[in-house]
Structure 1
């Protein structure tokens, strides 16, 4: 049975999807070209001897489009329906499917027996009365110059970053953070200074670089809207006579957060005052 263009198009789409999954995140021309060649060669319909020359003719342009597809989107996810690279890739695979179908049909009409059964390949122009149409190199995608396009892309990137930051916070063990804070605060002496991270949206403070959550929270503090602020905590004196409470100063944390943050340290018998950045502290 001679495969039609629809069947061949489906095989091509599946092959390209496999290449995209295989090369995602590590796309370079050699890797993509090699992966595409291997994937097409593994499909019997796309690599049959009677049509192999058609597939090979499209291979460079198809590999270039797959590479452009992989490198033209900054994160995994759903691409816009009108994405030009996706459209050109889909249409190129459609053209290849049509030419493969024509080659199959020409072979079926011919009395020529496949060289895979009878011996070496010979030049037999009469086998293919219909020459596959010339493959045109697709034009390079034009940048989206519609008003607000750049702003929309920035907003989409910011939204993805904020979503990832919230997922990071959700995954943290806040009970463990509090326990590690308590151990560190208990061991602090007058003059000791430690880095802190204040998570306004969670009402949590992470004290000291040795806290197991410090690095994870520090990586997301520059994400707009996540509400993480970096500062430093320093004990400024010994407990007063007949008092177990200690005094500390907290720098670089927004002053408007004092009412919410102070009780967290008061629970550890530390009275804290917030101040702006000062080179004299510590």
Structure 2
């Protein structure tokens, strides 16, 4: 019996869930190794006729599982529209579809021994390259040159679109109000993380800001232009001035002109510096 997409998808989800349960807090290499071993242990996902499909998806899937595990402390902390989760589930669905299509293509080339004489065990006669299906049949994985790069580019574009939608859905006036409250309470020596959303021209200060997790969770998406740094107050207001002094680290130099006025609105003058263990 040829496994359909639903059955294959169940195996894929069960395998990835096993890795998720085992690897909270693990580094990238550990997650990749655990996923590779889990996929190899499932006979349906590692059969000789489909192993090349699983192997092709392994690097991207391992990276997404790692991001899924490292973005939040626990699964229940993750919002429903989390882009990493969306991207991961889309990738797992694509893997299941390609595996099922490869199984179907391999099975369609099989001829019964009762009609054509003795044959080897079924798994051994699956062709390395399934025959070209008719238009009416379901196509197998795209093996044309550049297809892997094209799929990767499509996944990157979906992730970028999801990240943009996450940013657009945030309550930006509320973010700025929370920034103002936190900055007013800072004392000399206090240090807080800062996210600069370049495309929106706004900063998010401190992990307690209601938008911090959502924005931090998408800042690794290529093309989204979100930068992380840290802010530290370094002195009291100068004589006859209500403005405080602070230093901002890790933000790229091109952000200085844009970010200065953002903090100036909160009566803080910032100077920019590269990361240093002596700051803070």
After TM superposition, is the score higher than 0.5? yes
Q: After superposition, give the CA deviation of every residue in 1:188-227 in whole Å (9 maximum; x if it has no partner).
A: 0122221111111121211112223223322332322111
CA contact (8 A) 2:188 2:233 kept: yes
Check 1:215–1:175 CA distance in 2 against 1; reply closer, same or farther (3 A cut). same
Counterpart for residue 273 of structure 2 = 275
Three-state SS of the structure 2 residue aligned to 1:247 is strand
- 1:142-184 Cα shifts (integer Å, max 9, x gaps): 9988654554454344334333433432343323322221111
Larger radius of gyration: 1
- 1:261 paired to 2:259: yes
Could you tell me whether the CA contact under 8 Å between 2:230 and 2:250 is conserved in 1? yes
Q: What is the aligned partner in structure 1 of residue 82 from structure 2?
A: none
Aligned pairs for 1:225-236 (under 5 A) are 225-236=223-234
Alignment of 1:89 onto 2:87 = no
Moved more, 249-258 or 23-32: 23-32
Q: What is the match of residue 222 of structure 1?
A: 220
Of residues 230-239 and 172-181 in structure 1, the stretch that sits farther from structure 2 once superposed is: 172-181
Gaps (5+ residues) in structure 2? 16-38, 62-90, 131-140
Query: Structure 2-normalised TM-score?
Result: 0.58
Match of residue 210, structure 1, among 208, 211, 215: 208
* Preserved CA contact (<8 Å) 2:248 2:273: yes
**In the superposition, relative to structure 1, how do residues 145 and 264 fare at CA in structure 2: closer, same or farther (>3 Å)?**
same
Q: Is the 8 A contact 1:69 1:86 kept in 2?
A: no
CA contact (8 A) 2:194 2:229 kept: yes
**Contact 1:230 1:253 (8 Å CA) reproduced:** yes
Count of residues in correspondence between the two structures: 211
Are the equivalent residues in 1 in contact too, given 2:107–2:126 (CA < 8 A)?
A: no
C-alpha deviation, 1:231, in angstroms? 0.9
- 1:44-59 alignment, distance < 5 Å: none
- Aligned ranges for residues 181-220 of structure 1 at < 5 Å? 181-220=179-218
The structural deviation recorded for 1:241 is: 2.8
1:46-125 matches, within 5 Å, as: 73=57, 74=61, 75-76=91-92, 87-94=101-108
CA distance, structure 1, for counterparts of residue 190 and residue 156 of structure 2: 37
SS, match of residue 4 in structure 2: helix
Asked if structure 1 preserves the Cα contact closer than 8 Å seen for 2:50 and 2:103, the reply is yes
- C-alpha distance in 1 between matches for 2:56 and 2:275: 42
Return the match for 1:237 from 235, 238, 245: 235
SS at match of 1:172: coil
- Select the residue among 8, 23, 43 that pairs with 2:11: 23
